[in-house]
Amino acid sequence: DVDNIIAMIQQHVPGSMLENDIGNELSFILPKKFETLFTELEMRQKALGIANFGASITTMEEVFLK
């Protein structure tokens, strides 16, 4: 359930924002500190219906290109 996933992420990472919701993929913009989020995602991955997840760091160059 997308709403539950969004709520959980925003609970663990205040200030997080949903960037994209395309098909079966959600992208969030997160502040720097979000370790507890990944711990809970790992524990609840199957229950939330998440096939896989990951994180990437956007460079300043990519920010300005957008």
If pLDDT is split at 50, 70 and 90, which confidence band does 65 have? low
CB contact at 8 A, 10 and 34? no
Bridge-partner residues for 20, per DSSP? 27
- Residues 6 or more apart whose Cβ sits within 8 Å of residue 15: 30, 31
pLDDT of residue 61: 65
pLDDT of residue 64: 63
Residue 1, CA distances (Å) to 13, 22, 24, 44, 45 in order: 18, 14, 11, 12, 12
- Domain range annotation of the chain: 2-65
Global pTM?
Answer: 0.59
